[in-house]
Amino acid sequence: MFGQLKVTCAAASALLFVAGSVQAEELTVATFVPPNHETNAVMFKWFGEEIEKRSGGSLTMKLYPAGQLGAGPTQQYKRAVEGVGDITLGVAAYTPTLFPKTMLAILPGKANTAIESTERLWRVFDEHMADEWSEVEVLAVGSVAGSIFVGNRDISTMEGLKGAKLVPFAPSTSPVIEALGAVPVMMEITDMYTALDTGTVDVLTTSFNSLMPPWNLEDVASHVAENVPASFQVLFVAMNKERYQGLSDEHRAIIDEVAGLPMSLMMAKSFDSADEIFLNIKDSAELKYEWKVVSDEERAKMDAAVLLGMEEVYAQYAERGVPNAKEIYEAMNE
């Protein structure tokens, strides 16, 4: 009996030794969005809980929101590469020349929600897009659905879009915007509220939830148009490669388990859930703007214009050395 107890105690001591041999690590997470943003409340909350649970508390994260480790969204990829933060959240379209093939996921297609778009993106990511991200360890690449136009005029018809200064999700969509009769104007999301308020631009491509805090676009909009060709902003969560490689085998394995499609879908869920919250309260709220649903006739005109614009998109990609852009796009949208 005492011999059996001695063996049991020895085994327990060995397990404690192994657990204790894994160095405790805290990962810094840099994000430009405010603390109450849906990616913090859903995706990063999930990520933090998962890595802590799976590691028995030896791997944790600390979130630095609202640009605490560097202001603005444009430099987020560079901050990941240089290790300013161990992990960063960024917008792929703000450095589009680095990710031309990934930018194809932004264009209108068969997806209507962030989750649908993210699932389609990951159908082709490993084969066609992963090489664009070789400087970092990719934790997530996911979408925000641009389901509506928000503007200072009626933009529910092709006539209403004619000549409008419209902010798309990425420069690569410019041929599509021009085919719709509008003038593409690129800017960061943090500048859009003021731009629409002052009339610097007329229309924003955005999601339902952007009408609510923290972006509050409902305060500066006079018109909203639903049932427009949806496009998709692509966001990423990237980890500094050296920091990842410097983790223990156990901690890297945990990161690998949650990274990729699982974390990307949590990102998409962050945005789709926020859209659902807005839609659930919209009908009972007193809107400050005119809400219009694009008619089937006008939507057919818009879809036809998008198809014309896509041909120009493919031609531009070929000139930039990506001759198979149409193949990648169609693989996502088959």
* Residue 131's CATH number: 3.40.190.170
Token pair of 91 as six digits? 């917008």
What pLDDT, on a 0 to 100 scale, did the predictor assign at position 285? 84
What pLDDT, on a 0 to 100 scale, did the predictor assign at position 36? 93
Q: Is residue 184 in a domain?
A: yes
Question: Lowest-confidence range among 7-16, 32-41, 103-112, 242-251?
Answer: 7-16
Percent of the chain at pLDDT > 90 equals: 89
Report how far residue 45's alpha carbon sits from residue 59's, in angstroms, rounded to the nearest whole number: 14
Q: What digits encode the pLDDT tens for the residues 108-150?
A: 999 999 999 999 999 999 999 999 999 999 999 999 999 999 9
Look up the domain containing 129 and give its range: 24-332
Peptide bond into 214 cis (omega under 30): yes
For the residues 67-74, what does the mean pLDDT come to? 94
For the residues 177-205, what does the mean pLDDT come to? 96
Q: What digits encode the pLDDT tens for the residues 25-61?
A: 999 999 999 999 999 999 999 999 999 999 999 999 9
Q: Is residue 18 in a domain?
A: no
In this structure, the dihedral spanned by the alpha carbons of residues 185, 186, 192 and 195, taken in order and rounded to 10 degrees, is: -40
CA geometry: angle 69, 263, 87, nearest 5 deg: 20
Q: Are strands 25-30 and 87-91 parallel, antiparallel or unpaired?
A: parallel
pLDDT band per the 50, 70, 90 thresholds, residue 21:
low
Residue 28: strand pairing partners: 62
Q: Is residue 6 in a domain?
A: no
Domain count, the chain: 1
Q: What is the average pLDDT score of the chain?
A: 93
pLDDT band per the 50, 70, 90 thresholds, residue 1:
very low
For the residues 277-285, what does the mean pLDDT come to? 90
Q: Is residue 19 in a domain?
A: no
Q: Is residue 155 in a domain?
A: yes
Residue pair 167/187 in contact (Cβ under 8 Å)? The answer is yes
Confidence check: pLDDT of 12 > 90 = no
pLDDT band per the 50, 70, 90 thresholds, residue 204:
very high
For the residues 88-105, what does the mean pLDDT come to? 95
Confidence check: pLDDT of 316 > 70 = yes
